[in-house]
Amino acid sequence: MLFPTIDFAIFFAVAFVASWLFNPYPTFWKLAIIALSYFFYGWWDWRFVFLLLAATVVSHFGALGAARRGSSPRAAKASLVASVVALLCILGYFKYYGFFAVNVDNVLHGMGAGRIFPLVQPTLPVAISFFTFMAISYVVDVYRGRIDTARPVDLAVYLCFFPHLIAGPIVRGEELLPQIRRRRDPAEVDFSRAVWMIMAGLFKKVVISSYVSTAIVQPVFSAPGAHSAPEVIFAAWGYAVQIYCDFSGYTDIAIGLALLLGVRFPVNFDAPYTARNLQDFWRRWHITLSRWLRDYLYIPLGGNRGSDLLVVRNIMLTMVLGGLWHGANWTFVIWGALHGTGQAVGHLRRKSRVSRGLPAVAEGTLRSTWQRFWTFQFVCLGWVFFNASSFSNATAMLGRLFTGWGNASPLITPLLIITIIGVIEVQFLPANMLERAQRFFSEQRAFVQAGLLGVVLLAITTLGPTGVAPFIYYRF
């Protein structure tokens, strides 16, 4: 069930009424949200509802054992390890078994050995990466003493709450569980901001992302050898715009839907293409995943402690595993390795500058413009591997940068150029400018807001395609 569909509109209308109808009765509200969320998740394949339920049961009992850290440290750690391993095994089987089996068997076959793994590819359940990471963070936070164990019904709502279920944000227990436990006050709900976020998200996804995808990204990535070098460059830039509008559009819709139900989600994007280096980019892009990798992988590995070699190792492991989290394909591993290498080099450069008594990052308008430009180009290089169907497809794209000059570039139209530049330039607008526009909308009378929303919906339905493709991050 996709957000920008009539099916979901009907579903959310029922969910909205049910949520506020049962709001005075906490237990019934939670049960209603669980039932609605499981129905929402089962819309794709009802069998995977049991997988979501299994992750909930494992994390519940794992947290109960992990909470005994004070009275029985060894048992608590054993419970933590067992539950995290169990959750990772669920994720590993469905997402990585086929990838692992094929690659190991290919190596063994090349050495003259027989094939030892059954070559099966389990169906990838929607959202398994997101709810698995949330379950792991819950158990780990209980073990660390950051949060108390939740009642089973509260934990079930935390993991399955439908606005974040499919593609995040990856919400922490300390952020969402307190909101689940308390009664929501409709007087505190910022309905105008919620609607603003939903409309913005729909426009990003349905209009901008869809247009850029069909105008240049799909044609070039599917057959790079048939396109010129400028078209390859614009396809890489176009995919940067497409994935940003697609994913941040989903996040905007998810935040708006949750707001309408009286729940607040954390921010997940903060003008990522204004970043001056890769470290800055990851503070702005998919923020909830970045901090998850930092808090549950990078810091436990040692973080910035130790020698430069150890820090580089920690960065590389974190980013490569972060790349693999996105999918069982070598292109994602390369994408993660590229970002890891770039961040490792950036770390060493910053440390060298500080040791010489210089600012960690060079200052000045010209320097910052140059830094932003090259950071964006590096990110786009990574997006080539991220979106490519295979390593050979990515290298074919990059190869056209050397052999594809002098050819016609009919896909590069004025509208495409304006769209790509416009999406990037909007991110450089002062934050208070967008806040003022939202505040202006909030201050209008209901009939004026309704009129403006009607205009936006008309634009979305007119400019958008007939059908809406699934969000890119649905497959992760």
pLDDT band at 363 (very low <50, low <70, confident <90, very high): confident
With H, G, I as helix, E, B as strand and everything else as coil, classify residue 368: helix
The residues, ordered by sequence, that sit 6+ positions from 37 with a Cβ below 8 Å of its Cβ are 157, 160, 161, 162, 165
Per-residue pLDDT at 450: 85
How far is 236 from 382, CA to CA, in rounded Å? 9
378-409 pLDDT tens trace:
999 999 999 999 999 999 999 999 998 988 89
CA atoms within 13 A on the CB side of 302: 13
Sign, CA torsion 319/320/321/327: positive
Helices of type H across 44-121: 49-66, 73-110
pLDDT band at 465 (very low <50, low <70, confident <90, very high): confident
- Catalytic residue at 286? no
pLDDT band at 113 (very low <50, low <70, confident <90, very high): low
Inter-residue contact 279 to 346 (CB < 8 Å): yes
pLDDT band at 348 (very low <50, low <70, confident <90, very high): very high
Kindly state the average pLDDT of the residues 279-293.
Answer: 95
Per-residue pLDDT at 254: 94
**Neighbour tally for 336: CB within 10 Å:** 24
Omega prior to 169 cis, within 30 of 0: yes
In this structure, of 66-80, 234-248, 427-441, the range with the lowest mean pLDDT score is 427-441
71-83 pLDDT tens trace:
888 999 999 999 9
Query: How far, CA to CA in Å, does 357 sit from each of 42, 305, 350, 364?
Result: 58, 21, 11, 17
CA atoms within 13 A on the CB side of 338: 17
Residue scoring higher pLDDT (122 or 247):
247
pLDDT band at 299 (very low <50, low <70, confident <90, very high): very high
Residue 370 has pLDDT above 70, yes or no: yes
Per-residue pLDDT at 53: 95
Q: Point out the catalytic residue in the list 164, 326, 339, 347.
A: 326
